[in-house]
Structure 1
Amino acid sequence: MQTDPRIDAYIDASAPFARPILAWFRAHMHAALPEVEETIKWSMPFFTYRGKPLANMAAFKAHAAFGFWKRESSATGHEGEAMGQFGKLAGMADLPEPDALDAMIRDAAALIDAGEGGRPRAERPAKPEADVPQELAEALAGDDAAAATFNAFPPSCRREYCEWIGDAKRTETRSKRVAEAIGWLREGKRRNWKYENC
């Protein structure tokens, strides 16, 4: 069992009620998954597997907590009650069933083995393609070079031009922006090209 002396120090500095709880989780991590590694992240004991975050634990004034990084690996019914998935652990009687915890540890490692070791990112819905203002559409229709650049840009870059021109309140401002946009597009420049090399 490879241990990190910083975790020894963390446990020793914790409140007396928390020490056996933290030691118990630590022992189970190593017993269920001998390849687990220890470290300190965000000032808390952390367990990693194959370089990926697996679980962490912490001690507070009145409770301890343990949680898996990939939360789907444990369905305990305590989500939201404390930092981890097992609620506020105030004593040894609050610990999960040992066999159940060992299975959760192995399941969490299996997710990493399957390439699912990071926290899932919430998928953002794709923004719709921007409406091209009429003045810009007409100017692009008369300039092949600017149109080629505009059409080759990703949707976000096209949207920047469309919104900049579309937000103009006055006709004069809109015309001025269209002229500037066409000039920049002929040169292959994005709308905010001035800030790209800052």
Structure 2
Amino acid sequence: MEKNKSVDEFIAKKGNWRKQLEVIRSIMLSTDMQETIKWGVPVYTVDGKNVVGIGAFKSYVGIWFYQGVFLKDHHKKLINAQEGKTKGLRQWRFTLKDEIDQNLVLRYVEEAIQNQKEGKEIKPEKSKALEIPSELSSALTENNTLKQSFEQFTPFKQKEFIEYIATAKREATRLSRVEKIMPMILNGIGLNDKYR
């Protein structure tokens, strides 16, 4: 595999963790994965699909397997960093260079590559259709321009408007919130754009 200069720069900035990252990187480079930077960290891909990422944190260096849930993990090395939330991702953490068993790490990485080639992956769940509060629904039905403007927003921004109205307990408050956001919607301004 060809080295990516951005990964060289990433590792050079990691001071205390440089040696550990270099060992882990050498394992990744011994495979047929492509080395790249995504979200500011080294990521290793097969056919454009993320297989493994590496990074350095305050108290450890980590490898994360994007579809690690499918790894056999006979040696009990992998953890789910957010139990109940994280579906596919699994991490393997190291603090000392001597903890990195290169042959064992390579076996896990090769299994992850094979799983990716076989198409084993957890796809993100599709979000449920948003239930538009009746006060907003009425306003959109009565004003076609407002409806068209609302539909131009991303689902995320639509959800912000919907939740803003739906969280009001009183009908009078919901109606006043609809009045407040109508000019924003017509002007293409998201509810929280001023904070972004």
TM-score normalised per structure 2: 0.56
Q: Is 1:121 aligned to 2:118, yes or no?
A: no
State how far apart, in whole Å, the 2-side matches of 1:43 and 1:78 are: 22
Measured at CA, do residues 25 and 73 of structure 1 come closer, stay the same or move farther in structure 2, by a change above 3 Å? farther
Identify which of 88, 91, 107 aligns with 1:85.
91
SS of alignment partner, residue 67 of structure 1: strand
**1:68 maps to amino acid:** F
Identity in percent: 18
Instruction: Indicate if the aligned counterparts of 1:15 and 1:59 stay in contact, CA closer than 8 A.
Output: no
Aligned to 1:145: none
Per the alignment, residue 67 of structure 1 pairs with 64
Following the alignment from structure 2 to structure 1, what is the Cα–Cα distance between the partners of residues 81 and 23? 22
Structure 2 segments unaligned to the other structure (5+ residues): 83-88, 153-187, 189-196
Alignment of 1:117-196 (within 5 A): 119-122=122-125, 164=134, 195-196=150-151
Matched, 1:99 2:99: no
Partner of 1:21 in structure 2?
A: 20
Structure 1: 5+ residue stretches without partners: 127-155, 166-176, 182-188
Q: CA offset at residue 86 of structure 1? A: 1.5
The number of equivalent residue pairs is 141
Shift in CA distance, 62/194, structure 1 to aligned 2, threshold 3 Å: closer
**Residue aligned with 1:116, SS:** coil
Distance 1:77 1:84 in 2: 6
1:3 matched to 2:3? The reply is: yes
Does 2:110 align with 1:109?
Answer: no
Supply the AA of the counterpart residue of 1:9: E
1:195, distance to aligned residue in structure 2 (A):
4.2
Checking the alignment, whether the CA contact within 8 Å between 2:50 and 2:66 is kept in structure 1 is: yes
1:132-183 superposed Cα distances (whole Å, 9 cap, x missing partner): xxxxxxxxxxxxxxxxxxxxxxxx69x87xx859xxxxxxxxxxx8xxx9xx
Q: Deviation at 1:84?
A: 5.7
RMSD over equivalenced CA pairs, Å: 3.6
Letter in 1 for 2:40: S
1:86-131 Cα offsets, whole Å, 9 max, x none, are: 23x2211332x333222221221122212235x532477x8xxxxx
Q: Secondary structure at the match of 1:86?
A: strand
1:54–1:108 Cα contact (<8 Å) kept: yes
Separation (CA, whole Å) in 2 of partners of 1:106 and 1:3: 19
> 1:46 aligned to 2:43?
yes
Shift of 1:67: 0.9
Q: Given the superposition, is the C-alpha separation of residues 28 and 164 from structure 1 closer, same or farther in structure 2, using an over 3 Å criterion?
A: same
Return closer, same or farther for 1:43/1:112 CA change in 2, 3 Å cut-off.
Answer: same
TM, length-normalised to structure 1: 0.55
